[in-house]
Amino acid sequence: MPTTTHDGLPPLHTHKPSRRTTANRVFVVVHFSAILALLYRHTLSLLHSTTLTSFFITLTFLISDTLLAFMYTTIQSLRMKPIYRTEFPENLKRVVEEPDFPALDVFICTADPYKEPPMNVVNTALSVMAYDYPTEKVSVYVSDDGGSALTLFAFMEAAKFASHWLPFCRNNNIVERCPEAYFETDHSRFPEAEKIKIMYQGMKVKVTNVIERGKVDQEYLTGKREIQAFNKWTDGFTRQDHPAVIQVLLDNSKDRDITGHLMSNLIYFSREKSRTSPHHFKAGALNALLRVSAIMTNAPIVLTLDCDMYSNNPDTPLRTLCYLSDPKLRSKVGYVQFPQRFQGINKTDIYASEFRHLFIINPCGFDGLLGPNYVGTGCFFSRRAFFGGPSELLPPEIPQLHPNNVVDKPLQNPEVLELANHVASCDYENNTTWGYKMGVRYGSLVEDYFTGYILLCEGWNAIFCNPERAAFLGDAPINLLDALNQSKRWAVGLLEVGFSKYSPVTYGVRAMGPLMGLGYAFGFWAFWAIPITTYAFVPQLALLNGITLFPKVSDPWFLLYAFVVLGAYGEELVDFVLSGGTFLKWWNNQRMWIIRGLSSFAFGFVEYFLKSLGISTHGFNVTSKVLDEDQRKRYEQGMMEFGVPSPFFVPLTVAAIVNLAAFAWGHVEIFRGGGSFEELFVQMFIAGFGIVNCIPIYEAMISRNDKGKIPTKTSLVSTILAFVLYAAAYPSRQTTANRLFAVVHSCAILTLLYHHSLSLLNSTTATSFFITLTFLVSDSILAFMFTTTQSFRMRPIYRDEFPENMKRVVQELDVPALDVFICTADPYKEPPMNVVNTALSVMAYDYPTEKLSVYVSDDGGSALTLFSFMEAAKFASHWLPFCRKNKIVECNPEAYFATDHSRFYEAEKIKDVYQGVKVRVNNVIEIGTVGPEHVTGEREIQAFSKWTDKFTKPDHPTVIQVVLDSSKDKDVSDHLMPNLIYVSREKRRTSLHHFKAGALNALLRVSATMTNAPIILTLDCDTYSNDSQTPHRALCYLSSDPKVGFVQFPQRFHGINKNDIYACEHKRLYKINPVGMDGLLGPNYLGTGSFFSRRAFFGEPSHLLPPEIPQLCPTNVVSNPIQSPEVTELAHRVAACSYEISTNWGSKIGVRYGSLVEDFFTGYRLHCEGWKSIFCHPTRAAFYGDAPMNLIDVLNQNKRWAIGDLEVAFSKYSPITYGTCVMGPLMGLSYAHYAFWPIWFQSHAYIQDLLDFVLAGGTVQTWWNDQRMWLIRGLSSFLFGTIEFFLKSLGIASHGFNVTSKVLDDDHSKRYEQGTIEFGVPSAMFVPLTMAAIVNLAAFAWGNVEVFRGKCSIEGVFVQMFIAGFGTMNSKPIYEAIINRKDKGRIPKKTAVVSTSLAFALFAAAHVTLRN
């Protein structure tokens, strides 16, 4: 037993090796030999596989067991040299004088006062402030990363209470120095305890009241110092964006307790945060603390604590000094780690929250090597360890941060505070080594594991100190979802290290040696998901299929399996019990490991790799420390908590169902004589073992009625998925389900499906079976989509209008008023001059100006857009009379002046005025702000006064600015002009805004209060009017049939190149299909160019759904001027972000929420409610817009549509169920055509489609490009959209509304005009396209080689050669972009290399699969 002494002085610590070390080493050799033998058997079985099924099953087990062997090896490395330490803190003062004790800085991190109650943090701080340690040497820093005034208030109260609590603990030698924990025990033996308790309860009530109110009221602030402290919390102070706050609450140079003793320093700290700067979560907070504390106290020892991890032993710092004061260790010890221990865990620890292996058993093994890993809390660091290895100090950028710097100025000295604020700024770390070579390390969600690992790699040692009385006690998550989310976050973070350049199996082994490197390789935790998932499903599914996977009981190989499994479990049980655990806790621990493998580890594994591919991102979620009483009671009773729907619970429930079914089926088979017990024993045992572990899941599904039961939705989804899994295991039984696709429109398709079905039934190998099955499923989907396409062809009609007759039917005075809605959101993606031109084009309509109101919704809340419209209003006074006088048809100034306009002498003058407007607007856009020099009148100055520093795009008040008032504003010819109103609805981060749908609903309400026109035209910001007669065309229908809800004009685009290489015209979507739907109930709403009856937004034609206030009723007559105070006030009220709460807006009234394609969903719902629509397609295009002109924008736009369509398709309003029932089969199938777009890649039978296309005005060349783009979308937008939708449905990913950019640079424009496809940026969506191009070219070339070599006949491979050749022809632009092109639009090299590698991988996989 080695003992450390100092020149004859008593020892400070000692350690002894584990008595089981030799036995461990012998067992490892024997057990690992058995594992190698098992892997050898798998390899032999793989080589001798006779079918594809047996090959893949064996390969699955080989991979799973190899991973198990690897993970087992990492654990065994920690059993090679475990040691146990003992300290003698009672000897410390005989070795080191108390005045010579080093100073101690304590870091306590918190982030959210609602998830981490401030009273918990206060208790943690008070417990360490009461340490048996010189108070003048202790400084407690509380990092509040949420920047909450509530937390600061709690610590101000704590500082007052500390003046009573600290002397009470000191005078009575209290051991339990956390007030909350102490007052829960018997404290009656000290007479003053009750008085202290009353003071504590008073503080607790006061803090809790403030938390419930959500703010610190003036009544709680008594002194000037307190009031001054809270002055920093202004309206612009948010959690994500605020300045640094450093508040010294206690100063040990002057603040004393009630007995006159000085108290420890207590400093509240919240670092600066900005949305534009990365903050690195907890790691960033700790580094900020390191710097701030260096400036203020710079103690050589630093203790890091989680906010809920209070001190349970007042002599803990003395135990640490037993190591850090040892001259033999001092220069090499980087940190002393105490185990995490938890309070409040139930008797059998059902969630395995103790993590006994992670926090006690493994650290003892590490301690015999270089030392334990850092676990994020309860760790005393040498400050020097954060600044390079023991032999090489890495100097910080300023001398005040040097670990040896002596702070000689008072804590609250202005220079100290100024420098502390400087090093706490969010941009301080820029161009420094903080987080990379210095301080806590960035690069992983588990900053503690990564930091400890890097420190040990740099040459530091660590000590594991595990005294009999727990040094710290904390809170563990005590509901299942929190436990799994925490484990998932750890799994993702560990993988970030495992697959980085610092991987333990490479870098770690070189830097620390093989045992430490392998020990740290437990970071590949998430790998457990693969073997656990394999053993949770594969043996069971094989059992259901009557396939035997394991040796019989009488087979010698069975003994090998038994030894490997029982040996591993037995060894773990021994370790667990000897470390102080019980058998029941061990059982729950292994069950939770299985649960984590099927949920946390699996989802963490997926999330990490999605993030690596750029598909998904992850962040740091604070684990909640709050639990309601019902949950706590169930937890104490040992009942698992499943109460909320979560994708985590789905694989668990599926596994429970599959294991139960397999176990029951195994018994049936044995009793029927279908299999022997000997052969099925192992699979029956595994299924039975799964069932025993799943007992809490069965109870939560069936017998429980409390709120912690598994939600019905989860049970249903899991049952369906279990049946799907079961069906996948029985592919031959899918034939009946596949025959559901038999009802199709075409006899040819029926014949093809019949052919596939026969081939499937007559398959002789697994390979041919699965290939045929793939074609059957694909062609069945094509048949379904083809059927939806045919619904458009059942009753197409073509309309003509006679707007010239309107004035003979309806007098001009009786023409209904028209409100035009133009939506924009970003002045940089949607240039304001485009929006201005759209507005001017409709303001110039041949329509009574007093009945025309144009509302511009600026969802970006940009002053630049408002300025543009103020300039537009001035120009309109010249432009409108010019158009009226000269009967201009092209009323968009930009489009008009691009043509020959010389026949009107005043045109050049108007053009000069327009160019002046354009120059001023573009100047403002480039500058990025509207300066005083741009604003001339008092009205304009007042309008822009709303844009304060607090006004941001996602957080701002409502702005409604009447730019033109039709009752008084006149043009240069003295005619009144239309109303022009700028609207930017209120936005708050805490409120949903529903993207464009929310903006349109806000416009509906605002316009109702100001003008309430019965007709509404909705326009995209870039869709300008091309025909001044368009409103009269719409009125030809809206005035004749009260059931017409809207009149839809086709989307047409200008600037599209000759052959429309990106198929932006969407002829089917915007022309062919609407003509077909027009013969039924009418076309779908396309989001722009649509004239609505306002009444259609308020319920069915026969039943008005009244809005919540009468002023919003579509029949209400507005009698007040639009700028009257009453109107303005009400308009602001209905534009508030909270207005829609508890109303029908978005669900039954207005534009509908629930899909990214709000236009499609709204039109669909209106049709379902009984409204009709009209497709109006005049010879002269009514509107022209901008189409995306580079491939990535096209694909991203299509992906967004795909996701939105799927949101409708898989909602309760699915067109094939709800739609068919409500509107009839043809309309239901028509809408299903759009809703299920993403699940296919081919839209047509080619000849029929070509005919439709040419008759609709297309050419063969544009049709060819259209079908090519359909294939491209299928391999990119639709594929990624489908994946993103289902990931979002499972809660793994989320999506939002991205504005399609309307800006293109000159090089892009030139290439587009030349018909060159633009690939220039790296994108995951280009990978499957490039792979397909390579595979098709290789297949076509190889087919020709095989034909010429005589290996096969052209007859036999003609169809495959044709398909590959067709793919090659369609891929021509891709080959050019890989090989020939040198411009910026070529395919990036990285994409080409990745695609080539994946193509080869696909070829190799196919070769292995198809050749067997």
**H helices present in 887-1020, as ranges:** 893-897, 907-927, 938-944, 995-1010
Confidence grade of residue 1125 (pLDDT, cut at 50, 70, 90): very high
What is the pLDDT, as a whole number, of residue 913? 93
Cα–Cα distance for residue pair 1289/713, rounded to 1 Å: 13
Q: What is the largest CA-CA distance in the chain?
A: 118
Confidence grade of residue 1242 (pLDDT, cut at 50, 70, 90): very low
**Closest to 169 in 3D by CA, of 129, 200, 122:** 129
Cα–Cα distance for residue pair 80/66, rounded to 1 Å: 21
What is the pLDDT, as a whole number, of residue 1411? 60
Query: What is the average pLDDT across 955-960?
Result: 92
The SS3 call for residue 344 is coil
In the chain, the percentage of residues whose pLDDT exceeds 70 is: 93
pLDDT at 953 over 70: yes
What is the pLDDT, as a whole number, of residue 1024? 92
609: left (phi over 0), alpha (psi -120 to 50) or beta: alpha
pLDDT tens figures, 141-173: 999 988 888 999 999 999 999 999 999 999 999
What is the pLDDT, as a whole number, of residue 1250? 62
What 3 state SS string does 609-667 have?
A: HHHHCCCCCCCCCCCCCCCCHHHHHHHHCCCCCCCCCCCCHHHHHHHHHHHHHHHHHHH
Cα–Cα distance for residue pair 177/104, rounded to 1 Å: 18
pTM: 0.57
282 is in an annotated binding site: yes
Which one has a higher pLDDT value, 820 or 1361? 820
pLDDT at 1294 over 80: no
**Closest to 1085 in 3D by CA, of 994, 1179, 1158:** 1158
Query: What is the average pLDDT across 786-797?
Result: 73
Which one has a higher pLDDT value, 7 or 123? 123
116 is in an annotated binding site: yes
Query: What is the average pLDDT across 813-822?
Result: 90
pLDDT tens figures, 317-369: 999 999 999 888 888 999 999 999 998 888 998 999 889 988 999 999 999 99
Helix (H) or strand (E) run with residue 960 in it: strand 959-964
Q: Which position among 65, 112, 145, 1205 bears the catalytic label?
A: 145
- Neighbour count for residue 608 (Cβ, 10 Å): 23
What is the pLDDT, as a whole number, of residue 95? 87
Strand pairing class (852-858; 979-984): parallel
Q: Are 1298 and 1196 in contact (CB under 8 A)?
A: yes
- Cα 1216 from chain centre: 30
Cα–Cα distance for residue pair 651/1146, rounded to 1 Å: 34
What is the pLDDT, as a whole number, of residue 1283? 79
For residue 728 the two structure tokens come to: 């996948």
Q: What is the mean pLDDT of the chain?
A: 86
354 is in an annotated binding site: no
Query: What is the average pLDDT across 1194-1209?
Result: 83
**Closest to 815 in 3D by CA, of 1031, 981, 1046, 1089:** 1031
Q: Which residues of 129-142 are buried (b: 16+ CB within 10 A; e: fewer)?
A: bbbbbbbebbbbbb
pLDDT tens figures, 395-436: 999 999 999 999 989 998 999 999 999 999 999 999 999 999
1084 DSSP 8-state letter: P
Helix (H) or strand (E) run with residue 17 in it: strand 9-17
Q: Are 155 and 120 in contact (CB under 8 A)?
A: no
Cα–Cα distance for residue pair 271/463, rounded to 1 Å: 31
What is the pLDDT, as a whole number, of residue 1332? 87
Tokens 């620890």, located at residue: 349
What is the pLDDT, as a whole number, of residue 669? 80
Q: How crowded is the C-beta side of 326, counted as CA atoms within 13 Å?
A: 24
Cα–Cα distance for residue pair 54/71, rounded to 1 Å: 26
What is the pLDDT, as a whole number, of residue 599? 92
pLDDT at 744 over 50: no
What 3 state SS string does 1115-1141 have?
A: CCCCCCCCCCHHHHHHHHHHCCCCCCC
Query: What is the average pLDDT across 262-291?
Result: 92
pLDDT at 1254 over 60: yes
pLDDT at 738 over 90: no
Task: List strands edge to edge, sheet with 310-311.
Answer: 310-311, 472-475, 342-343
Would residue 779 show up in a list of annotated catalytic residues for this protein? no
Helix (H) or strand (E) run with residue 311 in it: strand 310-311
Q: What are residue 306's DSSP bridge partners?
A: 109
C-alpha torsion 469→471→477→478, nearest 10: 20
Strand pairing class (979-984; 959-964): antiparallel
Q: Which position among 105, 144, 315, 448 bears the catalytic label?
A: 448
Helix (H) or strand (E) run with residue 333 in it: strand 333-337
1410: left (phi over 0), alpha (psi -120 to 50) or beta: alpha
Confidence grade of residue 734 (pLDDT, cut at 50, 70, 90): very low
- Cα 691 from chain centre: 34
Cα–Cα distance for residue pair 417/413, rounded to 1 Å: 6
Would residue 1193 show up in a list of annotated catalytic residues for this protein? no
45-59, 457-471, 1211-1225, 1391-1405, range with the lowest pLDDT? 45-59
What is the pLDDT, as a whole number, of residue 1164? 93
